[in-house]
A and B are shown apart, each in its own frame.
Chain A
Amino acid sequence: MQNIQDKAFDELFKEKLGDAEIQPSANLWGNIAAGLQPAAKRRFPVYWMAAALALIVVGLGLLMPEAEKVRLQAPAQLAVHEDVVVPVAPVVVHLPDAGATATTSDKSTPLVIAPRLKANAENKSDKQKMQPERAADRLVNKQEEIVLEPVQLPKPVNETMIASANVQEDNQPDVTVAKTDEAAGKGIRNVGDLINFVVNKVDRREKKVIQFETDDDNSSIVALNIGFIKFNRKLDK
């Protein structure tokens, strides 16, 4: 019997138990080997998921500035619809109308309006009366120079040509820009499209990691399959 200090007490336990051996039951290795199998299989997709997510993040970063362009596109297209009408109407046809419209417009509003009216009026004859008011506002506001021109009425042909030419020059660039944007946009129009594109390249399964439903303005998530998070709006429908 002897007094044992704390340290020595601990040491004795360490001595007796530190290197102790107890044989585990025979089937334990089988359980461990079984436990290792699914883990090994799981590893591969996890890396692919990580890669896909990384690509998505990079894609988002790259596309942020372009996403703003997409917004600008919407008003541009609205404007185009009005403009598109203009090229359809042949400029030549105006010549006889020019005189008539000029006289009618003279009564109500400044003389200037007449030449510009033709371009719009040609398409729908019904609207002739309505249009002078709108057209008057535009012309007076935008081009005061033209106000001087009414004095030169004797030369209606030239003015109409000039007017229509101006209109076309103003509008044409918009039209072309809008068209090219639209053409390129059908591939990837916004962030959702880009993510779908990247994910489709990387993830060949039926249920993708992430999928968006996109239209011109918006994109919304329709499917999400990351680990235990599973969400498939598309498949539910």
Chain B
Amino acid sequence: MQEALYRQTSARMLAVCLRYVKDIAEAEDVLQTGYIKVFQKVKEYRGEGSFEGWIRRIMVNTAIENYRKNLRSMNVAPIEDAAEQASTGFDFSRLGMQDLMKIIQKLADGYRLVFNMYAIEGYSHKEIAETLGISEGASKSQLSRARAILREEIIKMEGINYAKYTG
């Protein structure tokens, strides 16, 4: 029963975990801790929302706890002048899931968390601020900074892809 649930959902959940961490090994650590929590707390699931959504939330929370544990070693995101490339366009169609995953993983921890929580999980800035213990303003500025960095990275990647394509 437990194993069946794991087999059914673990691939999607590992992708969730991977978005929040640096590499696959750390993602599997979070996944393991997350599933143990899922099976221990399964009685607390009250049928609100989809069961998989409930599991996903536990995974995200576990990833955030993991981030907090590592906070001490976390390097404060470097304050560079954000090159305002926001208006630069690019073609997503050539970027696969793995490319985007790599780009997200390049982000500093703080940016990665805020971008994931806001853009993909759909948290509000207020929720993010409460969960991470930062101000709403910090959440917003980290989000826009994260977007700017992601755009830069995508353009770099597109350039490489384009070079491959033409070369």
How far in angstroms is the closest Cβ of chain A from B86?
A: 8
Q: Does A235 contact B (CB under 8 A)?
A: no
Q: Judge whether A152 is part of the interface by a CB distance below 8 angstroms.
A: no
Interface of chain A residues 164 through 222 with chain B (CB within 8 A): none
Which among B7, B12, B97, B118 is the interface contact of A10 at CB below 8 angstroms? B118
When distances are taken between beta carbons in the complex, the residues of chain A under 8 Å from B119 are 9-11, 13-14
CA gap between A24 and B87 in the complex, in Å: 37
Inter-chain CA distance A93–B19, complex, in Å, is 102
With beta carbons under 8 angstroms apart, the residue of A1, A20, A35 that contacts B90 is A1
Which residues from chain A contact B15 at a C-beta distance below 8 Å? 17, 19-22
Check if B104 is an interface residue, CB within 8 A of chain A: yes
Interface residues in A, total, Cβ within 8 A:
29
| Interface residues as binary, B63-103 with A (CB distance below 8 Å gives 1, 0 otherwise) | 00000000000000000000000110111100111001100
Tally of B interface residues using CB under 8 Å: 39
Q: Determine if B90 and A28 form an interchain contact, defined as CB atoms under 8 angstroms apart.
A: no
Q: What residues of chain B lie closer than 8 Å to A33, measured between beta carbons?
A: 2-3
Identify which of residues 18-63 in chain B touch chain A, using a CB-to-CB cut-off of 8 Å. 18-19, 24, 28, 31-32, 35-36, 39-40
Most central of A2, A17, A25 by chain B CB within 10 Å: A17
Interface string of A17-39 (1 = CB under 8 A from B): 11111111100110111011001
- A6 to B119 alpha-carbon distance, docked (Å): 9
Is the pair B11, A21 in contact by a Cβ cutoff of 8 Å?
yes
Q: Does A58 contact B (CB under 8 A)?
A: no
- Of chain B, the residue at the smallest CB distance from A21 is B11
Tell yes or no: A3 within 8 A of B by CB: yes
Q: Is A16 an interface residue (CB 8 A)?
A: yes
Partner of B31 from the list A9, A18, A28, A39 (CB cut-off 8 Å) is: A28
Q: Is the CB of A3 within 8 A of B89?
A: yes
Known: A16-B95, A17-B100. A32 touches B35 (CB 8 A): yes
Residue among A9, A24, A36 with max Cβ neighbours from chain B (10 Å): A24
Task: Determine how close the nearest CB of chain B comes to the CB of A91; give it in whole angstroms.
Answer: 77
Of B86, B89, B91, B104, which is within 8 A of A17 by CB? B104
Q: Are B95 and A23 in contact, with the CB atoms below 8 A?
A: no
Which residues of chain B are within 8 angstroms of A20 by Cβ–Cβ distance?
12, 15, 97, 101
Residues of B within 8 A of A23 (CB): 10-11, 14
Closest A residue to B151 using CB positions: A9
**CB <8 Å contact, A32 and B6:** yes
- Report whether B11 and A24 are in contact in the complex, using a CB–CB cutoff of 8 Å: yes
The CA of A82 and the CA of B96, in the complex, are separated in Å by 99
Q: Are B89 and A28 in contact (CB-based, < 8 A)? A: no
Q: Are B35 and A17 in contact (CB under 8 A)?
A: no
The yes or no answer to A4 lying at the interface (CB within 8 A) is: yes
A51 at the interface (CB under 8 A from B): no
Measured between beta carbons, the chain B residues less than 8 angstroms from A28 are: 10, 28, 31-32
Asked, given contacts A2-B89, A13-B100, A24-B11, whether A18 binds B6 with beta carbons under 8 Å apart, the answer is no
Pairs A-B, 9 closest by C-beta atoms: A10-B119, A20-B15, A21-B11, A1-B89, A35-B36, A22-B14, A2-B89, A24-B14, A22-B15
Q: 20 interchain pairs (CB within 8 A)?
A: A1-B89, A2-B91, A3-B87, A4-B90, A6-B144, A9-B147, A10-B147, A11-B119, A12-B92, A13-B120, A14-B120, A16-B92, A17-B101, A21-B11, A21-B14, A29-B3, A29-B7, A31-B32, A32-B32, A36-B2
Apart from A14-B120, A16-B100, what are 18 other A-B pairs with CB-CB below 8 Å?
A: A6-B144, A9-B147, A9-B151, A16-B96, A17-B19, A17-B100, A18-B120, A19-B15, A21-B15, A22-B24, A23-B14, A24-B10, A24-B28, A29-B6, A31-B32, A32-B39, A33-B3, A36-B39
